[in-house]
Structure 1
C-alpha cells in the first residue's frame, strides 16, 4: 500500500470514529448519558450482573474508567453495586428497573444510529460490515499478540495459507 492510499484509509477511519462518537454523544445526551455509559448499560442488559473487573474487560476499558461510570450511573439510580460474596473487595454491578428501561431506550437509539450510519449502502455490504470492522479492530488491538489475528479470514471467507 502506498502512502496516499494509507493516508486516505487512516483518515477515513479516524473521521468515522470521531463523527460516530460525536453523533452518539448528541443522541445520548437527552437520556443523561455520556459515551461509554451506554456500552456498560447494554453489557449488563445482555449478561446480567457482573463484577466490575469483568465489565472492564468486556468493555475494553481501564478499571478506573468503569469505576467512574458505575459511580455516575449508580448516583442516577440506573445501576446498583454490592460486594461480591466470594470477594468483598470486588463489586457486583447490576441494572435497576430504571437502568433496564434506560437500556431499552439506548437499544432504540443504537438501532437508529446504525441505520443512519449505513444509509445508502447495499444490504450485502451492511451485512459484511461487522465482520470487516471486527477484523480491523483485531488488527490494531494492542491487547493481543500480533500473530494471533494475522490473516484472519472475514465472514464466509476461506483461510489462505
Structure 2
C-alpha cells in the first residue's frame, strides 16, 4: 500500500475513534457515566456476575483500569463486589438494581449512537461492519502481540 492510501486509512480510523468516543462521552454525561463505564455495565448485563479478570479480558482493558471503574461504579451504587467462593483473591462484580435500571438507558443511548454513526450507509454495509471491524481489530492485535 502506498503512503497516501495508508495515511487516508489510518487517519479515517483515528478520527472515527476519537469522534465516536467524544460523542459517547457527551451522551453518557447526563447518566453520570464516563466512557468505558457503559461497556462494563453492558458486559455485566450480557454475562452476569463476573470476576474482574474476566471483565478486563471481555473489555480489552488493563486490570487496573477495570478495578478503578468498578470502584467508581460501586461508589455510585451501580455495581457491588463480593468475594469469589471459588477464589478468595478474586472479587465477583454484579449489577445492583440501580445498575440494572441504568443499563436500559445505556442500551437506548448505545442504539442512538450506532444509528448516528452509520447514518447514510446501506443496510448491507451496516450488517457487514461488525465482522469487518473485528477482522481489523484482530489484525492490529496480532501485530501488537508479535503474531502473524
Q: TM-score, normalised by structure 1?
A: 0.89
**1:50/1:92 contact within 8 Å kept:** yes
Q: Distance in 1 between matches of 2:102 and 2:145?
A: 33
For residue 2 of structure 2, what is the aligned residue in structure 1? 2
**1:139/1:146 contact within 8 Å kept:** no
For residue 121 of structure 2, what is the aligned residue in structure 1? 121
For residue 156 of structure 1, what is the aligned residue in structure 2? none
Structure 1 runs (4+) greater than 3 angstroms displaced: 142-145
Question: Any stretches of 5+ residues in structure 1 without a counterpart?
Answer: 148-161
SS at 2:90's partner residue? strand
**1:56/1:63 contact within 8 Å kept:** yes
For residue 147 of structure 2, what is the aligned residue in structure 1? 146
Deviation at 1:145, TM superposition (A): 5.2
For residue 76 of structure 2, what is the aligned residue in structure 1? 76
Q: How many residues align?
A: 147
Larger RCO (CA within 8 A; separation ≥ 6): 2
SS at 1:88's partner residue? coil
Deviation at 1:144, TM superposition (A): 5.1
Which structure's residues are more often helix, by fraction?
Answer: 2
For residue 60 of structure 1, what is the aligned residue in structure 2? 60
For residue 98 of structure 1, what is the aligned residue in structure 2? 98
Q: Distance in 1 between matches of 2:82 and 2:140?
A: 35
For residue 15 of structure 1, what is the aligned residue in structure 2? 15
Structure number with bigger Rg: 1
Q: Distance in 1 between matches of 2:129 and 2:60?
A: 20
Q: TM-score, normalised by structure 2?
A: 0.96
Deviations along 1:92-122, one digit per CA (max 9) or x if unpaired, are 0000010011111100000000000000011
For residue 111 of structure 2, what is the aligned residue in structure 1? 111
For residue 152 of structure 1, what is the aligned residue in structure 2? none
Which shifted more, 52-61 or 138-147? 138-147
